[in-house]
Amino acid sequence: MIGKRHIVAVASLLSLTAFGAHAAEPAARLKPATCSVPAYTADLKDDYLQGTVRLAVLVDADGSVKQAKVVESSGHRALDRASLRASYTCKFGAGAKDEAPGWSTVQYKWIND
């Protein structure tokens, strides 16, 4: 339909990739995450920004994200920042109470169609 556009931001858990030599064991215990869809504000829509952002997230034993960083940028700072904000809403399946935090990867794909 001409004139109509929308954006889809999809959060997907990539393979439970560990970052760093000592992170492999904690990452293996993580269960899939549920993540909120990032806000695609009017100013971003007007610029027709799209791309894929890959983030490394540090997941605590309770399943919450404690830290996040961009490991692959979309090329648009605004999309990267929106993805970072949304990543803190991700909730992974909780591990054992005494387990150390583990790194995983989350990807947001911004599509303007």
User: Going residue by residue through the chain (113 aa), what tens digit of pLDDT does each one get?
Assistant: 444 444 444 555 543 333 333 333 444 455 667 888 887 787 877 788 889 999 999 999 889 999 999 999 999 999 999 999 999 999 998 777 777 888 999 999 988 76
CATH superfamily of 7-112: TonB (3.30.2420.10)
Q: Cα(81)–Cα(66) distance, rounded to whole angstroms? A: 16
The confidence score (pLDDT) of residue 31 equals 63
Calculate ∠ Cα 13-73-85, nearest 5°: 60
